[in-house]
Structure 1
Amino acid sequence: MNFDFGILDFIQANMRSDFFDAVMPFITRLGDAGIIWILATLVLLAVPKTRKVGIAAAASLLLEVVCCNLLLKPLVARTRPYDINTAIQLLIQRPLDFSFPSGHTSAAFAVVSALFFSKNRLWIPGSILAVLIAFSRLYLYVHFPSDVFVGALIGIASGWIGSLVVQKGKRE
């Protein structure tokens, strides 16, 4: 945990600025409840040309929600960093669920990975947003780096599995 706090405290000491204090809450809100990724998935599903990618994205989101929110968060029940270091003043409302893993990060990387493994070039701009959302969780002191890292891994695995499901369905 010292390693996690070392990174969080480095960000607080060396990267905090008025600009990021204004931008990071907006970026993190894009990932609230996975809304930006759900909307992107719905658009992909609505367009016949990208429907299969949309199915992969939807499957990846479903898998990551089950893994992160239904299984791991309640099982691990990790306290959030701002509850341990109470000197931090939050720029957003306090999340009410547990810290591990980061659901924002997991959802972001699930859809981006589904795009990547489905060979859809939208993974490129999507990955920029995914990385920004993941970093915003650290900047805002609501997740430990290990929460974000594991969230990214779960998202990547979910995206890979989601795209495999669609590829397997095409063959049958």
Structure 2
Amino acid sequence: MISLLQNIDNSILLFIKNNMHGNIMDKAMVIITSLGNGGAIWIIIAALLMINKKYRKIGFMALCALILSTILGEGILKHVVQRIRPSADIPVINMLITKPLSYSFPSGHTASSFAVAGVMAKYFKKYAAGFLGLASLIAFSRLYLYVHYPTDVLAGIILGLICSGIIIYIFGKNCFLKNILLKG
């Protein structure tokens, strides 16, 4: 089963490499992936929301979802699974970004993007497609740039949405944790 998944992963990456690469796409994917570096775009969005009293809770929820996805993905799952990156497995002529030093599974860029996009989509339904679209572009950029396998990205999407769901649930309940976090 693992061998089959690995073959599917490799086939998808090779399809992207052989059919989608070009100068404009190369530049666009480098820019798009950089938006997800360190969760930068999502931290900026959360910070802007927290500045506004009306949206402070949503901004804080987005930040909590981002932190939770980072702890679970980068802090735990990557070290348990220890999957090497595709660029180490499959020969790539020209890496467009610096090779990441961490493990591959799950995709941290994808997990953090979907964690925040999930919260945003819940509370800003009118802009849900935009948030989820940006998260999807960041996720795709990780495949395009050969730093993640498709199953890494799929796991990142699932992890991110689970994290947003957990945070939405916690903040939707009148629970002890919510009261501690929002005091002040």
Q: Same fold (TM over 0.5)?
A: yes
2:182 corresponds to: none
Gaps of 5+ in 1: none
Is the 1:74–1:98 Cα contact (8 Å) retained in structure 2?
A: yes
Number of equivalenced pairs? 172
* Percentage of pairs with the same residue: 40
Write the distance in 2 (CA, Å) between the matches of 1:130 and 1:163. 18
Write the distance in 1 (CA, Å) between the matches of 2:111 and 2:55. 22
Instruction: Output aligned runs, 1:65-76, within 5 Å.
Output: 65-76=70-81
Is the 1:105–1:134 Cα contact (8 Å) retained in structure 2?
A: yes
1:114 corresponds to: 119
Is the 2:121–2:132 Cα contact (8 Å) retained in structure 1?
A: no
The question of 1:91 aligning with 2:93 is answered: no
| SS, match of residue 173 in structure 2 | helix
2:16 corresponds to: 11
Write the distance in 1 (CA, Å) between the matches of 2:71 and 2:125. 25
Is the 1:53–1:163 Cα contact (8 Å) retained in structure 2?
A: no
The question of 1:102 aligning with 2:127 is answered: no
| SS, match of residue 121 in structure 1 | helix
TM-score under structure 2 length normalisation = 0.88
Query: Residue type matched to 1:36 in 2?
Result: I
Write the distance in 2 (CA, Å) between the matches of 1:169 and 1:29. 37
Deviation by residue 1:60-116 (Cα, 9 ceiling, x = unmatched)? 111101110110011111000000112342100111110000000001000010112
1:36 corresponds to: 41
- Structure 1 or 2, whichever has the larger Rg, is 2
1:157 corresponds to: 162
Deviation by residue 1:24-82 (Cα, 9 ceiling, x = unmatched)? 00110010011111111111111111112112211211110111011001111100000
Gaps of 5+ in 2: 1-5, 180-184
Is the 2:85–2:148 Cα contact (8 Å) retained in structure 1?
A: yes
Query: Residue type matched to 1:6 in 2?
Result: S
Which of the residues 133, 142, 150 maps onto 1:137? 142
TM-score under structure 1 length normalisation = 0.94
Instruction: Output aligned runs, 1:51-62, within 5 Å.
Output: 51-62=56-67
State the shift of 1:169 in Å: 3.5
Structure with bigger RCO (C-alpha 8 Å, 6+ apart): 1
| SS, match of residue 89 in structure 1 | coil
CA RMSD of aligned residues (A): 1.6
Write the distance in 1 (CA, Å) between the matches of 2:107 and 2:79. 13
